Amino acid sequence: MGLKKRSVNMLARVANNLFWMGRYIERSEHIARYLNVNYFSSLDAPHELSQSRQFMLRSTLFMIGDPVNDTDQVLDEEKVLFNTALNQEKDYSIISNIKSARENANSARDLISTGLYEAINRFYHYVLNYDTNFFVKKGLYDFTVHVTEQTAVLRGKIRGSLLHDQVYAIIMLGINIERATQIIRIINAKYHDALLATGSYGDQVAHSFEWTTLLKCIESYDMMRRFYRKTPTSLSTLEFLILNGDCPRSVMNSLNQIYRHMSVLDKAKRPAKDSTSFLVGKLRAEIEFTKVESIECNVQEFIQQILEKLVEISQKMEKEFFNY
């Protein structure tokens, strides 16, 4: 390697931290956008239920993993907004995610670029200093848009200022595993909403207004319109978000990236049967050769399976690479 002194593999502990840094950055983006899109689309949604603030708040809590099962319970809007975004006591809140991303970056700050670290730090201080009262009354749009934009800045710094080596691969694995996971969670939540809020356009789940919201939650609405040149239906939405490898926010695209970054860590051409590479390759092939018609009648079962396999991949990674 000419001038290079010696290549040193990264520490397993640090790899674990960077993997989770990637996951937390990605997670905070999806929560922020989900909150933003659902709140603002509910303001003038065509369907009575979709327009109800209670419905929207429940959907948000469902998506972030704090579902309200009691159908009679009336939720306090400001409290739910606070919990989702700025309550440090809630592990799922945006602030907790950014804090965790920063803590993980902290323990690996010798490996990442100064530019990336400062961007994470600035982001953290922005969120930390955001006025709670302003947020719940006026700042919802400003705050959530800023969060999603900052995550884009971070991804830009990751891609544009780090060496594209193991460190980069580990972070990108974290980002993409989290992205696939969040896409599935969001599909699950909006599918759930669509079942409840049937009848937006012609009393059909297949034509629910919620599909449009779903696409917007994953920042894929415009591109979906461009691709199909049609109003979204359940089928086209699921096909686009799960199976279309060209959609950067699809499960397929995330798996392709996971597969690619995995090969930086595991250079074996034929990965061993019990390796992470093997699991990734298998899931990727399964999705690649799935047709949307075959999942149409059992969507929930299908996405549940993908979710379980993603968890399995993450756990396998932990055993194979982060064992210290």
Binding residues for another protein, rule: CB under 8 A, are 5-6, 8-15, 103, 106-107, 109-111, 114, 117-118, 121-122, 125, 166, 170, 265, 321-322, 324
CB of 29 to another protein, least distance (A): 21
- The smaller minimum CB distance to another protein, of residues 14 and 241, is found at 14
CB of 320 to another protein, least distance (A): 8
CA distances from 189 to 55, 64, 118 (A): 12, 9, 34
CB of 304 to another protein, least distance (A): 31
Mark 215-242 as b/e (b = at least 16 C-beta within 10 Å).
bbbbbbbebbeeeeeeebbbebbbbbbb
- The smaller minimum CB distance to another protein, of residues 54 and 106, is found at 106
CB of 314 to another protein, least distance (A): 15
Which letter does DSSP use for residue 13 in this model?
Answer: H
- The smaller minimum CB distance to another protein, of residues 95 and 295, is found at 95
- The smaller minimum CB distance to another protein, of residues 91 and 118, is found at 118
- The smaller minimum CB distance to another protein, of residues 201 and 259, is found at 259
- The smaller minimum CB distance to another protein, of residues 59 and 166, is found at 166
- Can you tell me the distance from the alpha carbon of 170 to that of 228, in angstroms, rounded to the nearest whole number? 34
- The smaller minimum CB distance to another protein, of residues 121 and 305, is found at 121
Mark 171-202 as b/e (b = at least 16 C-beta within 10 Å).
bbbbbbbbbbbbbbbbbbbbbbbbeebbbbee
Instruction: Identify whether the C-beta of residue 198 lies closer than 8 Å to the C-beta of residue 208.
Output: yes
- The smaller minimum CB distance to another protein, of residues 52 and 113, is found at 113
Instruction: Identify whether the C-beta of residue 21 lies closer than 8 Å to the C-beta of residue 101.
Output: yes
Show Cβ contacts of residue 96 under 8 Å, excluding neighbours closer than 6 positions: 87, 88, 90
CB of 5 to another protein, least distance (A): 6
Which letter does DSSP use for residue 279 in this model?
Answer: H
Q: List phi, psi (to 5°) of 130.
A: -70, 130
CB of 312 to another protein, least distance (A): 19
Instruction: Identify whether the C-beta of residue 101 lies closer than 8 Å to the C-beta of residue 24.
Output: yes
DSSP annotation string for 168-219: HHHHHHHHHHHHHHHHHHHHHHHHHHHHHT--SSSS-GGG-THHHHHHHHTT
CB of 112 to another protein, least distance (A): 8
If 0-12 CB within 10 Å is exposed, 13-18 middle and 19+ buried, where does residue 37 land? buried
Structure tokens at 109: 């700050």
CB of 10 to another protein, least distance (A): 6
CB of 271 to another protein, least distance (A): 15
- The smaller minimum CB distance to another protein, of residues 10 and 205, is found at 10
